[in-house]
Structure 1
């Protein structure tokens, strides 16, 4: 017996049935717009399997839950770089942006070209994506980076950067300190002097995003 064809309409009906106003209210506080529990969303994606045509349809529908599902069932290499650039600019919310970068862009053969393109963008949210790819490059393809130049930019610009861009630059600073021992002392010094995210509220048993604490804790863990 053949399996029924999955259509955009039936998939949207599934997402609508899973929508929960309480989840939406929580997500709104974080700048997100989806009303579907992400564990349940992943279960839907597992049932659908990879389906690039449906993924494109879901993305173009412009609903946040539909776009998150799209990113789970798409085939990253079937997008061109221009598609991914457009999608980043359409992403709107932190969760969609995060999943787009981690589940799609980082698996695309042109991720480094996109990194350079986005770093030069005047929109701080787009530039933040470029900095996230700088962090990715530290472990994926270190040779494309000039670490001293990155530290110079962080030192001069991170303190006054817009929030999402500041967060991405701070993550890059921390990973430089964690992964690159030759640059660790300077990374720690920059973090101590700039004090970015020093007072960020951190739940118990979680690592502070303040770079010096983050670096020292991870280095200690790796060396233990």
Structure 2
């Protein structure tokens, strides 16, 4: 399938209701409103195709950009490619669920994520912390430095309440993911979650939301999910 065919197919699959949901989360035109599950048959047909992924991502169309992440070949992408992608990611569903997920399948994931976390730019920070969540939930514990993750938990504890709104979500999720998916620091993550307490996230038109990592870690413990690892990062 070539670029025009994919765009046509995505347009056909678009639904007004889905489009409204995406817009309410921060997406803007152009977009069709394609449910992610609907993309699977096209992805199966194409498999990995980086040149096509680049064409789709460059459209600025949310659905095309999301699908680009599904068919991307992360192993061929460079640091510069990821900088281009994060620059174009204009809201969190792109930064955290397309760029961060794609980055998590590379060998440069940690170094790029570290750079983004230190950037103090909201969506870069959000993508950086999210990338670690995807990594920790998929790769063996032995691939991570325990002292580095300890240090990162301390950074979260000291800075989460003053961080940009979307970064707060990702940082809170980082505490949870360490607590559930990285066994050597389960206790430390629980301590951090308790020290952090409820995290207030301000939202545009609705009331603030409060995130509580300690409660979610406990729920995962109760369900016997400690040590959980996903088989694949991308669906």
Taking a change above 3 Å as real, the CA distance of residues 13 and 137 of structure 1, as seen in their structure-2 partners, is: closer
Q: In 1, distance between residues paired with 2:147 and 2:55?
A: 36
Partner of 1:204: none
In 1, Cα distance between equivalents of 2:136 and 2:105: 15
User: Residues 83, 184 of structure 1: CA spacing in aligned structure 2 closer, same or farther, 3 A cutoff?
Assistant: same
Equivalent position of 2:86 in the other structure: 88
TM-aligned CA deviation for residue 84 of structure 1: 1.0
Q: 2:117, 2:124 within 8 Å by CA — same for their partners in 1?
A: yes
Give the corresponding residue for 1:188. Answer: 190
Query: How many pairs align?
Result: 211
Aligned-partner Cα distance in 2 for 1:184–1:198: 23
- CA change 1:92–1:144 in 2 (3 A) is farther
Shift of 1:114: 0.5
- SS of 1:61's partner is coil
User: Alpha-carbon deviations, 1:79-112, whole Å to 9, x = none?
Assistant: 111101210121113222212222x211112112
1:43-58 → structure 2 map (5 Å cutoff): 43-58=41-56
| Residue 63 (structure 1) aligned with residue 61 (structure 2) | yes
What is the match of residue 205 of structure 2? none
- The corresponding residue for 2:24 is 29
Post-superposition Cα deviations, 1:149-168, rounded to whole Å, max 9, x if no partner, equal 22221221112222211111
Q: What's 1:7 paired with?
A: 2
Which of the pair has the greater relative contact order for Cα pairs under 8 Å at 6+ separation?
A: 2
Greater helix content: 1
Q: Where in structure 2 are there 5+ consecutive unaligned residues?
A: 203-209, 227-235
Partner of 1:17: 12
Task: Pick the aligned partner of 1:149 from 148, 151, 163.
Answer: 151
Compared CA separation, residues 223 and 71, structure 1 to 2 (3 A): closer
Shift of 1:73: 1.5
Query: How much has 1:195 moved relative to structure 2?
Result: 2.6
> Which residue of structure 2 lines up, in the alignment, with residue 216 of structure 1?
218
- Runs of 4+ in structure 1 off by over 6 angstroms are none
In structure 1, the partner of 2:117 is 119
**How far did residue 209 of structure 1 move?**
5.3
Structure-1 separation of matches of 2:188 and 2:225: 20
How far off is 1:180 after superposition? Answer: 5.0
Deviations 1:47-76 (A, max 9, x none): 233222211111112211111111112211
- Provide the alpha-carbon RMSD of the alignment: 2.7
Q: How much has 1:36 moved relative to structure 2? A: 1.3
Instruction: Give the Cα separation in 2 of the matches to 1:154 and 1:168.
Output: 10
1:105 aligned onto 2:103: yes
Give me the whole-angstrom Cα distance separating, in 2, the residues matched to 1:65 and 1:223: 32
Structure ID, larger Rg:
1
Superposition TM-score, scaled by structure 1 size: 0.81
